[in-house]
Amino acid sequence: MSSRAYVGLGANLGVDPAATLTQAALRLAALPHTNVAALSSVWRSAPVDAAGPDFLNAVVALDTTLLPLELLDALQAIEQAHGRERPYRNAPRTLDLDLLLYDQLTLDTPRLTLPHPRLGERAFVLRPLLEIAPQLAHLAAAEGWQVQRIERLGPLSL
């Protein structure tokens, strides 16, 4: 039986961050026992609590039989393949993949917190997530995310 997981994609470094998001979505689609159920549009936003160029962001809905930590390991391997470095919190990045939700699971471990702890605070996550899963509107309870600068660019396609 598969579970529905939502993964946030973001990039603001590299030659072509939009191509990086597409490549990452393709890698997600190729994960074992995993199917892409929905792709959001690509959104451009200013960095939050960070410096650097604007980010491109999207959200992918996956149907997967991978367990949450197995999926997290796969996400981190995809990030590494794209040269992800973690020199400091909120550093600019070539690729950021965040496991936002995994079914209705609530989890709080040193490696993984679900739902993602800042999910409801950031327009660059909420706008693409609500685009493909409007039934999750209850997650958008935090104030302030609606005024963050964000612009829909167009579809993310495989």
- Tens digit of pLDDT for each residue in 100-152? 999 999 999 999 999 999 888 889 999 999 999 999 988 876 666 777 889 99
Q: Is 16 a catalytic residue?
A: no
Query: Domains in the chain, start-ordered, CATH in brackets?
Result: 3-155 (3.30.70.560)
Show the tokens assigned to 116.
Answer: 């993602």
| Of residues 133, 128, 120, 117, the one with CA closest to residue 151 | 128
Residue in 16, 27, 63, 98 annotated catalytic: 98
What is the chain's Cα-based Rg?
14
Residue among 44, 96, 122, 127 flagged as catalytic: 96
pTM: predicted TM-score of the whole model, two decimal places:
0.93
- What are 48-97's pLDDT values in tens digits? 777 788 999 999 999 999 999 999 999 999 998 887 666 556 556 789 99
Tokens matching residue 35: 């199917």
Distinct helix (H) and strand (E) counts, the chain: 3, 8
